[in-house]
Structure 1
Amino acid sequence: MRIAFLGDASLTHVIRWVQFFKDEGHDVLLITFEEPLEAPFKIERLKGLIPTKLGGYISRLATTKELIKKFDPDVVNSIYAAGYGPLGALSTDKPLVVTCLGSDILVDYPSSLIHRLQVPFALKKARLITVDADLLTERIEQMGISRKKIIKTFFGIDDRLFHPLDDKEWPDRDPSPTIISTRKLFSIYDLDMLIDAVPLILSSKPNAKVVICGDGPERGRLENRAAAIGIEESIIFKGALTPEEIAGELQKADIYVSTSRSDSTSVSLLEAMACGIPPVVTDIEANREWIENGKNGILVPAGNAKELAMAIINLVNKKDLLDSMRRLNLSLVERKGLWQENMKLVEERIVSLAGQS
């Protein structure tokens, strides 16, 4: 089967999505505006500046149509409902799949009139819509789109890579409490909340350290802010890491933190859970789909650094609760969060579209 994908080739999630179909034996092509990550499949980069508005996507419509026509796919899959969604909808008469990543529905769609027009246009043209959280299904239904063509599947984790290690496997484990964040350094993830919590954590746990894995436009400002409040010795900014390196950092940590203000199902959260790291995350709808407060993690109000610090301090002191959370999360990820099993369901649905007009 031949599948043409449209999406941001600089994103790991996009490369991983396309790679799955390549590994399953499908003939794939990824069309993108962005500088691509290295990948073992064909990528066609559209020339010109990366578009920030719908007009920038539509201006490449003729080229996109030509590339799709030449490739002659059975199905076209736009990965992201805004921008790439309408581009795919206008570029082909072949069955269209739209893969929603969260921000396209939760952030972009309500942000402007043009987004409130383009996103439903793409979703209505789609034969199949994939989402990774119930709240995305609810928001899409509110646009007047039938639930029947929506399939929920979690991006999931590779359990060959993300799994817990015991002390025998990691003999140089640091005995001091280690708090880890693996979110990118973008404003929506609100790393200021974590930085503001650090002095409070250190007042109770002076040997604690915070490891921030990820890069982004906020990095310089966040590093300067940590230095300005005198906690730079307790925070390690690791920068961008490979999945293997992220797994290694998670396996050494004690508490996982996500301070995001908006999200769909977070792969970073699932990776931490799969490594046996109890999570303390913001009390937003997508996190509630995975975390039952006080049972398999802690939910704290978004933006509240004091609540975050207190939750971490209290959790570090409760070994029995930490062990219980670890067991519950390992079981939960095994049941719902495995990448290969989840993607097989998506593949079946996409294959069923081939040949439909």
Structure 2
Amino acid sequence: MRIAFVSFETIHHRDSETNERLWGVIDLLCERGHEVHVCCAQFWAGEKTTVERDDVVYHGVSVGLEARRSFLCRLPFVLRSIGPDVIHAGATPPSQVLAASTGSTLCRVPLLVEWYGDDLEDDRLTRWATGRPDRIVTPSRLVRTWIREIGADGDLIDVVPNHVDLELIKETPPGDAADIVYARRLDDGANLESFLLALAELRDRDWQATIIGDGPQRGMYEDLTRDLRIEDRITFVGDATLEERIAAYRSAHVFVQTAEFSVFPTELLWALACGCVGIVEYHANSSAHELVEGRKRGFRTTSEQELADAILDAGDLEYRDVDDAFEPFGRRPILERYLQTYRDLQQEYGLL
């Protein structure tokens, strides 16, 4: 199948959650042998308008990120020159969804839009964009609700979570992390204080905690552990590679998620697949609770006291270093969901 992706900004321009999500899908498709084209702003030097990297053909629709208007004007005609079976567009900026829709009409093929939701704006242009795709994919029910509230047809929205590499998990030996792990960039939204206050309630218990991640608030959180007199039982390890994080999750018993904003809690998913018991502090703008709802090895809390109680209750559950219940989140099952969506759209267009 030939799939044309539309993403004005790419992971080669900026490493964002939205770009990582889209390039994760591209990687899965290339791995399966599909023909992938990406229409984007040029990120390479020289006069070539197309380059091939890692089995992906990149089409420089505009020269750099400053030429957005040129990108939007030229995009429909570049798409027609590619002749795709399906057009798969990112939702940011929403103006590219409108241009991709015109390209979809020229090519007479369906348009799927990947709406990750981490930079969603409720403005006129976004509302127009929600009505153009034949299908919208979001990472969580939370983002689906946001898109519906802006004006999208709920029947056209599919929820497809991020994926994890289950084989990599099984191939990575457990490390020597503490009993409880937290992992996230330590910025204003980390809300790590909830976790630390809960741990302070358990001073008289036997536990050790590891905090993975770095950021502008790390110093403040380290000071807080000293104020709470628990600094000798918490290790701040800073940034870690994926393999290092997997090793930590496989050796830990509990993973705690307290961030106030999360369109999809990718690190929580990795930890759950590594066998951790998941404890999530509920927040209105976080979808983390969706991964633990209805699971015996998951807890949803709303206060530091409930979080402390959940940590104690998690101790009664067996230790695991892998959880096969998360097979549906593996690379192959998630790819199959996308491929089935492509086929369904093609069938609706009479292309199959």
The alignment's TM-score, normalised by the length of structure 1, stands at 0.74
Letter in 1 for 2:72: L
Write the distance in 1 (CA, Å) between the matches of 2:157 and 2:295.
32
Deviation at 1:305, TM superposition (A): 4.3
Are positions 1:180 and 2:181 aligned together?
A: yes
Change (3 A) 1:49 1:197: farther
Distance 1:228-1:289 versus aligned 2 partners, 3 A rule: closer
The answer on 1:346 being equivalent to 2:344 is no
CA deviation after TM superposition for structure 1 residue 208, in Å: 1.1
Q: Give, as a single letter, the amino acid of the residue that structure 1 aligns with 2:136.
A: I
Given that 1:280 and 1:311 are in contact with CA atoms closer than 8 Å, whether structure 2 keeps it comes out as yes
**How far has the Cα of 1:276 moved from its partner?**
0.7
Cα separation, partners in 2 of 1:249 and 1:27, compared to 1, 3 Å: same
Distance change >3 Å, CA 258–CA 229, structure 1 → 2: closer
Matches within 5 A, 1:52-63: 57-58=68-69, 60-62=71-73
Unaligned runs of 5+ in 1: 51-55, 110-114
The alpha carbon displacement at 1:164 in A equals 9.7
Deviates more, 1:131-140 or 1:250-259: 131-140
Match in the other structure for 2:37: 29
CA contact (8 A) 1:195 1:226 kept: no
Question: 1:209: which partner in 2?
Answer: 209
Indicate the structure whose relative CO is greater, using CA pairs within 8 Å and at least 6 residues apart.
Answer: 1
- Which position in structure 1 is the counterpart of 2:50? none
Are the structure 2 counterparts of residues 178 and 31 from structure 1 closer, same or farther at C-alpha, using a change threshold of 3 Å? farther
Distance 1:187 1:33 in 2: 31
Distance 1:311 1:97, change over 3 A: same
Q: Using the alignment, how far apart are the partners of 2:330 and 2:145 within structure 1?
A: 24
The within-5 A match list for 1:1-357 is 1-7=1-7, 8-9=10-11, 10=15, 11-32=19-40, 40-43=55-58, 47-48=63-64, 57-58=68-69, 60-62=71-73, 64-65=75-76, 67-79=78-90, 81-83=91-93, 85-91=94-100, 92-94=102-104, 95-104=110-119, 108-109=120-121, 115-163=122-170, 170=174, 173=176, 177-201=178-202, 203-205=203-205, 208-212=208-212, 214-215=213-214, 219-227=215-223, 229-230=225-226, 234-242=234-242, 244-284=243-283, 286-292=287-293, 295-301=296-302, 304-312=303-311, 314-315=312-313, 318-319=315-316, 321-323=317-319, 330=323, 332-334=325-327, 336-354=328-346, 356=349
- In structure 1, distance between residues paired with 2:206 and 2:64: 51
Deviation at 1:125, TM superposition (A): 0.5
Whether contact under 8 Å (1:278, 1:322) holds in the other structure is no
**Equivalent residue pairs, number:** 320
- Bigger drift between 91-100 and 119-128 goes to 91-100
For residues 265 and 251 of structure 1, what CA distance do their matches in structure 2 show? 21
Report the Cα offset of residue 281 of structure 1: 1.0
Residues 157 and 238 of structure 1, relative CA distance in 2, 3 Å threshold: same
Cα RMSD (Å) of the superposition? Answer: 3.6
Q: Contact 2:26–2:36 at 8 Å: present in 1 too?
A: yes
Q: Is the 8 A contact 1:4 1:77 kept in 2?
A: yes
Paired residue type of 1:159: L
Separation of aligned partners in 2, 1:238 and 1:4 = 38
1:112 maps to which residue? none
Structure 2, unaligned runs of 5 or more = 45-52, 105-109
Q: Kindly state the Cα deviation for residue 70 of structure 1 after the two structures are TM-superposed.
A: 4.3
Deviates more, 1:14-23 or 1:226-235: 226-235
SS in 2 for 1:260: coil
Letter matched to residue 99 of structure 1: E
Percent identical pairs in the alignment equals: 21
Q: 1:13 to 1:195 in 2, by over 3 A?
A: farther
User: How far apart are the structure 2 equivalents of 1:260 and 1:198?
Assistant: 16
Distance change (3 Å), C-alpha of 1:144 and 1:49: closer
Contact 2:275-2:323 at 8 Å conserved across structures: yes
